A = this chain, B = another copy of it.
Amino acid sequence: MTPPRRDKPVTISDVAQLAGVSVPTVSRVLTGAAKVSEGRRSRVLDAIAELGYRPSAAAQTLASRRSNVIGIVAGNTSRYGYAEAIRGVEESARAAGFLSFIVVVETAEQDDVAAATDAVLRQSPAGVVVLKFDPPGVAALAALQPHIPVVALSGVPESGVPQAVLDESHAAAALTRHLLGLGHRTVHHVRVPPSGKEDGRTSGWRHALNEAGIAVPEIRDVSWDPRSAYEVGVAIAGESDVTAVLCGNDETAMGLIRGLHDAGKRVPDDVSVAGFDDHPLAAMFLPSLTTARQDFAELGRHGMAQLDALLTGAAPLALDTVDPPVLIRESTAAPRDAAPRD
């Protein structure tokens, strides 16, 4: 066995020569584009193994005008939901024979979006999955769509784009109703950075309040950093009318609870707090978090399945919606001053 030299890669013609066949024949056994007689076929396979030959993706892409890479475009790669969604996409992309590359769009500004679009298109990927979780994602989706097959991953259905959706609004409404059902007069909302005008989490909350004929309280905004939720927790500890809070995600809920705690309030005794996502630590927290499970990895897998369907020209999958289950745990309870409604 001769280990390949770092500076002289083995090419298809090396294989052809060793196997005693023509270059196109090697190509045929590689791609399966046409039948090759059993004898030649195995000689080619042997030569490939002996030389440790690996086809060059660049040459294949150039010659065939299709590639086996897909792009994952995201505003972020490491936050919980993002990382899980990326994992899901990559997993099923790999299972389908695709390699995934990552393009991060820092902001929704022209320059960043154009840079990301360029980076994606230059690779001539077979398709792209965009995490439409934030404004950069929304902008990148719009920029990419006219050029290449794209699937969006998101929390709210939208028409005109193949997509996989994790329907957040139902779960947010259910969580809000749960809190109201415990006897809270209203439910406040601490919002994480939204993807557009309003996310499903916020609209579900708003919907449930409207439905119950309750005035919609002012929204508090936080960044992704749990410390900003901590500050809000400290602040609302001083507001006696706040007895129930629905947070945009579990990290926010944990930060908020810690802030309330440090300001002398107990959860759920003084204030009920619900999170969103069912982060792996949500059940470990003290108190454990009432929340709605979001399976981001599954969302990613669905997205890749959509892309696959799109590429193979199969019947476009029906709108792919997953309804997140609600989990009632320790962080929510009846308020001090009221008995449950029913």
Contact = CB atoms under 8 A, between A and B. Distances in A.
A195 interface: no
A317 interface: no
Interface stretch (A31-39, A50-58, A165-173, A306-314): A50-58
A58 B54 contact: no
Interface stretch (A97-105, A130-138, A332-340): A97-105
A3 B146 contact: yes
Given A6-B147, A62-B59, A230-B284, A102 B104 contact: no
B122 A55 contact: yes
A119 B69 CA distance: 10
A129 to B, nearest CB: 13
Interface in A49-108: 54-59, 61-62, 67, 69, 76-78, 83-84, 86-87, 90-91, 94, 99-104
A231 B91 CA distance: 29
Copies of this chain: 2
A298 B146 CA distance: 37
A284 B122 contact: no
Nearest to A87: B78
A123 interface: yes
A102 B285 CA distance: 32
B251 A281 contact: yes
A78 B67 contact: no
A147 B4 contact: yes
Residue of A55, A62, A225 most packed against chain B (CB within 10 A): A62
Interface size class of A (residues with CB under 8 A): 35 or more
Given A86-B77, A147-B6, A226-B281, A54 B104 contact: no
A230 B286 CA distance: 13
A57 B147 contact: no
Contacts of A83: 77-78, 83
A58 B61 contact: yes
Given A280-B226, A280-B251, A284-B254, A123 B57 contact: yes
28 contacts: A4-B147, A54-B121, A56-B124, A57-B58, A57-B122, A57-B123, A57-B124, A58-B58, A58-B62, A58-B67, A77-B86, A78-B297, A83-B83, A90-B102, A99-B119, A99-B123, A101-B102, A225-B280, A226-B283, A226-B284, A230-B284, A251-B281, A258-B283, A258-B284, A258-B288, A281-B281, A285-B285, A286-B286
Given A77-B83, A225-B280, 14 more contacts: A54-B122, A57-B124, A58-B61, A69-B101, A69-B123, A77-B90, A78-B297, A90-B102, A94-B104, A99-B101, A227-B283, A251-B281, A261-B286, A285-B285
Interface of A: 3-4, 6, 9, 54-59, 61-62, 67, 69, 76-78, 83-84, 86-87, 90-91, 94, 99-104, 118-119, 121-124, 146-148, 225-227, 230, 251, 254-255, 257-258, 261, 280-281, 283-286, 288, 297
